[in-house]
Amino acid sequence: MPTLSITKIFTFEAAHALLGYDGLCANIHGHSYRLEVTVCSPALDSVEPGRYIESDKADPKNGMLFDFSELKKCVNQSIVDVFDHALILNREGNAEIGEMLKTRYQKVFCVPFQPTSENLLLDFAQRLQSVLPEKIRLKRMRLYETATSYTDLDF
């Protein structure tokens, strides 16, 4: 059975370092992240081509799974505005330097995990789920660390 979903794409800049890594990523370095967020609605799990979405005909959003501007607001509030131009470090082994950096810079995060694209995506998903309306659920999130490398999280 066909299902409907919508996807919105976001970009932001952030830096990180991988504690104990055996290559260049052990150094603080930055990425131009691209985040794709796909959501769906359980109420629309069984759609059929030719049968249209109708809820309240008086509602100007009639026919929408979820307003793109609302999705944008949720993602910006929980992820993009938080991490854009931030430095993300593993708290383990970096607590002291992280605290020192926080006295000089605004966006320094010492997280309780290795800040790989996989772990960042899991963290982002948790943050986003906490602000999405109940009727909307995540279907997929994709985080590009480079133009050719990404991590997928399917729900």
The CATH number of the domain where 107 resides is what? Answer: 3.30.479.10
| Residue 136, SS3 per DSSP | coil
Sequence-distant (6+) residues with CB within 8 A of 155 are: 125, 137, 138, 139, 140
Lowest mean pLDDT among 58-67, 78-87, 96-105: 58-67
Residue 155 and residue 16: Cα distance in Å, rounded? 26
Q: Any idea what the Cα angle at residue 140 is, between residues 139 and 145, rounded to 5°?
A: 165
Determine how many CB atoms are found less than 10 A away from the CB of residue 154. 9
The pLDDT value recorded for residue 76 is 99
Domain count, the chain: 1
Phi, psi of 130 (to 5 degrees): -70, -15
Q: Which range marks the domain in which residue 61 is found? A: 6-154
The pLDDT value recorded for residue 55 is 66
Which tens digit of pLDDT belongs to each residue from 23-64?
999 999 999 999 999 999 987 776 777 677 776 665 667 788
pTM recorded for the entire structure:
0.91
Residue 62 and residue 46: Cα distance in Å, rounded? 17
Whether 119 shows a pLDDT value over 70: the answer reads: yes
- Please indicate, yes or no, if residue 97 is contained in any of the structural domains: yes
- Please indicate, yes or no, if residue 38 is contained in any of the structural domains: yes
H/E stretch holding 30? strand 29-40
Whether 4 shows a pLDDT value over 80: the answer reads: yes
Whether 149 shows a pLDDT value over 80: the answer reads: yes
- Please indicate, yes or no, if residue 52 is contained in any of the structural domains: yes
- Please indicate, yes or no, if residue 64 is contained in any of the structural domains: yes
Whether 127 shows a pLDDT value over 80: the answer reads: yes
The pLDDT value recorded for residue 2 is 74
- Please indicate, yes or no, if residue 63 is contained in any of the structural domains: yes
DSSP state letter for 134: T
- Please indicate, yes or no, if residue 1 is contained in any of the structural domains: no
